[in-house]
Chain A
Amino acid sequence: MNPTVLLSLIIFAPAIGALLLAFMDGRAVSLLRNFTLAITIITFALTLMLANQFNYGESGIQFEVVRNWIPSWNVYYRVGVDGISLPLVLLTTLVSMLAAVASWSINKLHKGYFILFLLLESGMLGVFLSLDFFLFYVFWEVMLLPMYFLIGIWGGPRKEYAAIKFFLFTLVGSVLMLIAMLMLYFTTGGQQHSFNLIELAKVAAGGSEHLTSGLTPKMQITAFVLLFIGFAIKIPAVPFHTWLPDAHVEAPTPISMILAGVLLKMGGYGIIRIAFPLCPYGAYCAAWFLVAIGVISIIYGAFAALAQTDFKRLVAYSSVSHMGYVLIGLAVWKIAEGQTVNPDMWNMGINGAMFQMLAHGISSSGMFFMVGVIYDRVHHRNLNEFGGLMGKMPVYSGLSVGIFFAGLGLPGMCGFIGEVFVVLSTWNFNPALAIVAASGVILTAGYILWALQRVYLGSEYKGPHAEEITPITPRESAVGYILLTLAILLGVFPGIVFSIMNGSVTELVDHMQAGYDHAATLLDQQLQAMR
């Protein structure tokens, strides 16, 4: 298929599906389910076609499509894909497809649910594919409302509180992003103001042919901080993480899968795609701070997970901990005498962070799904009232243990690669921080093994509704098998993913160096002028 059509089709196929759903009979539940599943499968197939046509040897943006949108404000419909966004697009459609399978457990207002579900998928794909800041922002916000209602209507007992908290946190982040967007827009000049992310990045490195920028290094720091807070809320990094345990716990299982599997990745993606390239000097100045926040997130998230008695809350805090690695991997940028120290190590850190995002997308959506499976049967999640499931649900328990091990970072599974890459590159940045980050793995092992022991091992099941424990259904086990297979596959052949993104990541590292040089020159000129 023509790649230009393909990209737009990927973004809007779910939205079109949602529109069609609106005209269907709300009582034909199985039709609605199957139709939604079909749409997500089609979208996944389309992204596979995209991956097939993608040129892995090339590092820049591919299949770029530009159309006029609101020309009087220099806003364009500009989409494209590169090595950084492609893996995340694949992850999004995969997780959405699996979440659609998991949506069989939804038991009220099916039509509304599936419409919102598909709109959400469109929003997520739009975020990963858009190359215009305005378009990115619109898609970023488009996800808010469906997510609010998905948590608010189909969620658990504290759903309203969790939903508004999610909405509020994200909105605060996005209005900060909006200010940064205005700053970047109004400081660019040349022919006109611009929202074009590619050109804005080039101009930050002093290499744009079309734009000039009045963004001083000082303003870059401000813009970076604003952008970073916006994205850190989404990641979520401590201390902006408090929405996450509530939202994840109250959301219905498929939505938890999407939240953990895809939405958190948008924070990391935003940093790689926007905050870093557009404000390289700001990123450099904040590097220490970012790594510190990452390390704190790892340790704090792990300790918090250890203290939980709610199974789902434990998984939620494990996300905070795991996403800390992403932040560290991105930020281990050290400069001495104007040159990046060991750019290869930083390159490895970014690669590791990207890999960690994918790995976490697979393992944590798997973990949430596994929690959901048992919750559907026994209607509670108290860790102290499980036990002995291995005997009653052997297949389910086996799959769960596998996926939890992937989250733990067992060698040979996906979680391991990302963590090792990140920790190794941190050593180059600061050995002490590397040691602390690495010790997070021990805590992770602690809470996961302890949870596995309490839930699956032991002689007998101690909680309520023991009679309703039935073996896992083929539909459920299919989701488990797919995720476990991927977890092992990526753990054994991480090269599959690295080959996609390596070119783009290398380009990013070079770009950041150029951006730093450019800012340093500007600062020098300022100093000269002051003398």
Chain B
Amino acid sequence: MFSQLIQNLIDDTLKYSLGYFEAELWLCATIVALLLFRLISVDRLIPTSILALTGAIVATVVAWFQLTTTDGSETFFTGMLIHDQFSVYFRLFLSLFLALTIALTILTGIPDNEDSPDFYALLLGATVGMMIMATANNLLMLFIGVEMASVPSYAMVGFLKGRRASSEAALKYVVYGAGAAGVMLYGISLIAGMLGTGDMSLLADRLRIVADNGVAGLGDPEVRLVALGTMLVMVGLAFKLSLVPFHFWCPDAFEGASAEVGGFLSVASKAGAFGLLVRFLVAFSGDPSGAELMTAFGIGLGVVAMVTMTFGNLAAYGQSNIKRMLAYSTIAHAGYMLMAVSAMLVMQNSAHAGDLGQEINACLGGLLYYLAVYLFMNLGAFAVVALIRNYTFSEEIDSYAGLIRQSPALCVCMVFCMISLVGIPPFGGFFAKLMIFGSVYKAGDFHWSMYVLLAVGIVNTVISLFYYLRVLKTMIIYDRPADARAVRLPNLENVYVGLLGAFVLLLGCAPFIADGLNVIAGEAAGSIFSAIVTSR
């Protein structure tokens, strides 16, 4: 009997599930290789960074092939994880980003040879965790994914071991992270305990069963408990997304960590958390019984989005350290992206949800597009910071004065990234923002607060102009002081930042690239909803 169970499990895992887990497996294999090679001194022959880069590229290629072959949605590992276009999109996104980050670390020379196996093992491990976040189909995996992504991140933030600020940042991050994880775990236990399952695809059905008369209202103690649990889980995710008021770790962690790690955390960890947030919330929505509750959640997220972006933009204004400024900028951008989730919830739980398939899809498509553009523009900005740091040993905005005269390519890339972050065409950031604003506008038909959200988003776009432009002004309009250290990049580094800048531009205006990504993002978004429809 028991052996039969084990046999079934092994069969399921080997013959079925592992195939879907291919990209993650490559990364895991690379981690093992990284650590083992040091033992037998192979790392003298093959640089560790090259090995890590190869692993990331292989994972990217595997994910790319999955993108073309995936159709429909299937759960694997006995329902723990889910495989659909949405999962694959995140897999591709994260592994591509990983490859780009590793390439950056090769160029900037952080970490040194001695530490690099540790560093890359952490980096790859965190990425696997983020992929699990985006593919989670069970509350348990939700928690494991978040922790797998978080724990290596803590270590990476503190990786500059000699620096006090770095250790302090890591400590802050750990304490906050541990607190958030505890709260989230409590929330998970409330939900799982009340609804009797951890399987996310069953949550909406169970909620209807639990609720009196099939309408989940807050007057019902059981529903109240589930709502409380949901909120607690969202606290944990809000910590990962650095939403106000759970953002306090973010500026300190970014300032203390090296720019490469900052870039990685700002994009990848945010992407994983958004993937998870969407999966978690979609699991609850779409059923008429929970409509009212989830609409309230949608509006609540809208309010959080408003506060987050306003706070992020206003706080960024006063920063003199560029990494701190970028940290507040990522907070603000989390707010913009959250707008899409908010609009999605409001539309999906409105009375007309049946006719709105395309629009709901567009919300999520906009979010995915935003993430993709954000990858290039934010990594570009952090890459510029890291490269300049290697020459000037400074991360103060003032030390960037007049850089256009010494390294124009770097400055042009920075212009592209910053202006794209503001959201001005012809750069990708504009198109992504337009898609999200469009979704929020559409959601305004179903609840007036969405118009307020849109207005706040627009005002924030204007506010954000100031601090992004201040960096550009310093770099381009001011003269370089005579005693400043020269920044003259070798060609390879110019090519790297040039490539990132080019993608920021192409995603905003190139016919096939922008459209192609939009179509892929749309399909990925669609897969998550079609799965819901077929399972009900």
Which A residues fall within an 8 A CB radius of B?
A: 67-73, 77, 109, 112, 137-138, 141-142, 144-145, 148-149, 152-153, 159-160, 163-164, 167-168, 171-172, 175-176, 178-179, 182-183, 185-186
Contacts and interface: CB of A to CB of B under 8 A. Distances in A.
A171 B465 contact: yes
B441 A72 contact: no
Nearest to A175: B458
B458 A167 contact: no
Contacts of A148: 469
Given A109-B405, A186-B438, 6 more contacts: A70-B431, A149-B477, A159-B477, A163-B477, A171-B424, A176-B458
A167 B465 contact: yes
B425 interface: yes
Contacts of A185: 438
A178 B424 contact: no
A178 B434 contact: yes
Contacts of B404: 112
A152 B477 CA distance: 6
A138 B518 contact: no
B469 A72 contact: no
A178 B458 CA distance: 9
Contact of B461 (A69, A153, A175, A186): A175
Contacts of A186: 438, 441-442
> Could you tell me the dominant secondary structure of chain A's interface residues?
helix
Nearest to B509: A138
Nearest to B441: A182
A164 B469 CA distance: 8
Contacts of A68: 511, 515
A239 to B, nearest CB: 18
Contacts of A176: 458
Contact of A175 (B462, B477, B509): B462
Interface in B504-531: 509, 511, 514-515, 518-519, 522
A167 B422 CA distance: 12
Nearest to A144: B424
21 contacts: A68-B511, A70-B431, A72-B515, A77-B511, A138-B425, A138-B426, A141-B425, A145-B419, A148-B469, A149-B476, A159-B477, A164-B469, A167-B465, A168-B466, A171-B462, A171-B465, A176-B458, A178-B437, A178-B458, A183-B441, A186-B442
Contacts of B426: 138, 141-142
A29 to B, nearest CB: 16
B430 interface: yes
Interface in B418-438: 419, 424-426, 430-431, 434-435, 437-438
B148 interface: no
A72 B473 contact: no
A71 B522 CA distance: 13
Contacts of B98: none
B96 interface: no
B20 to A, nearest CB: 28
Nearest to A149: B476
Given A71-B515, A137-B425, A138-B426, A179 B462 contact: no
A142 B425 CA distance: 6
B415 interface: yes
A183 B465 CA distance: 24
Which of B405, B415, B438 has the most A CB atoms < 10 Å from its CB?
B438
B139 interface: no
A182 B425 contact: no
Contact of A70 (B415, B437, B438, B514): B514
B149 interface: no
